[in-house]
Copies of this chain bind each other. A is one copy, B any other.
Amino acid sequence: MTSSSGPAGASVAVRIGTMESSSTTGGSTRREATRQKLYEAAVTLIAEQGFSATTVDEIAERAGVAKGTVYYNFASKSVLFEELLRHGVGLLTASLRDAAEQTAREGGSRVDALDAMVRAGLVFIDRYPAFTQLYVAELWRTNRAWQSTLMVVRQQAVAVVEGVLREGVAGGEFSDEIDVQLTAAALVGMVLVAALDWKSFQPERSLDDVHAALSRLLQGRVSGKG
């Protein structure tokens, strides 16, 4: 009903990784491809309308499969959403960890690591804006079926930032008076909101541009003539 005529896939969809499709494990490719299509369809629809307002019929239609196929691949609407959540945050966490480790490997400081993670976060949001949107919208809700799942994956992601902060404190690079947990949350929020604003209201700007602005803030280079 919403989208008029063309039933051919919308192409705007956001790909959420490939898990372990090709290479070694043969695993039925057909099913995996269908699941992927369903993820892509669900992520944009739920980001736009929210979980409850998005119908399974819509997801199926957008993915170009029958409704029954959704239930053949996922136990329920909630399960589909939960797996989508787990999958997406898994990618983000891996990306953050990579950024931190690579910086360390190259002998960078902890601030460099933080900066690299800010960039990794921006790259992720740039690639999967709909997923990010959906994640933020659900994160602080309570009393929902997937709450525990959400908490687990959130903690995995935030822990990476906290880890770098703690190392920085231990190594004397950061003040030992900082509140690691709260600072980590604040940093995540900084990137999250700035990036969502970027995508929503100034999508034409480059990632480097946005990254530069956040770097400045991160390193306290705001005060002064510059």
Chain A residues packing against B (C-beta within 8 Å):
47-53, 111, 133, 136-144, 172-179, 181-183, 185-194, 196-198, 200-202, 209-210, 213-214, 216-217, 219-226
8 residue pairs A–B, Cβ–Cβ below 8 Å: A50-B137, A50-B141, A111-B223, A181-B202, A182-B202, A186-B213, A189-B190, A220-B222
A217 in complex: contacting residue of B140, B183, B193, CB < 8 Å: B183
A209 to B186, CA, bound (A): 14
A213 to B189, CA, bound (A): 14
Chain B min CB distance to A115 (Å): 12
A141 in complex: contacting residue of B49, B178, B189, B213, CB < 8 Å: B49
A51 in complex: contacting residue of B50, B111, B133, B226, CB < 8 Å: B50
- B contact residues around A202 at 8 Å (CB): 181-182
- B contact residues around A175 at 8 Å (CB): 216, 221-226
**Most B CB atoms within 10 A — which of A48, A219, A222?**
A222
- B contact residues around A142 at 8 Å (CB): 48
A182 to B122, CA, bound (A): 13
Q: Is the CB of A193 within 8 A of B188?
A: yes
Chain B min CB distance to A167 (Å): 14
- B contact residues around A225 at 8 Å (CB): 172, 175-176
Closest to A219 in B: B220
Closest to A189 in B: B193
Q: Is the CB of A177 within 8 A of B220?
A: no
A50 to B47, CA, bound (A): 13
Interface contacts beyond A48-B143, A136-B136: sample of 18 additional A-B pairs, CB < 8 Å, sorted by A: A48-B144, A49-B144, A51-B53, A52-B52, A137-B141, A139-B196, A174-B226, A175-B221, A176-B225, A182-B197, A183-B216, A186-B190, A186-B193, A186-B217, A187-B217, A189-B189, A189-B191, A192-B193
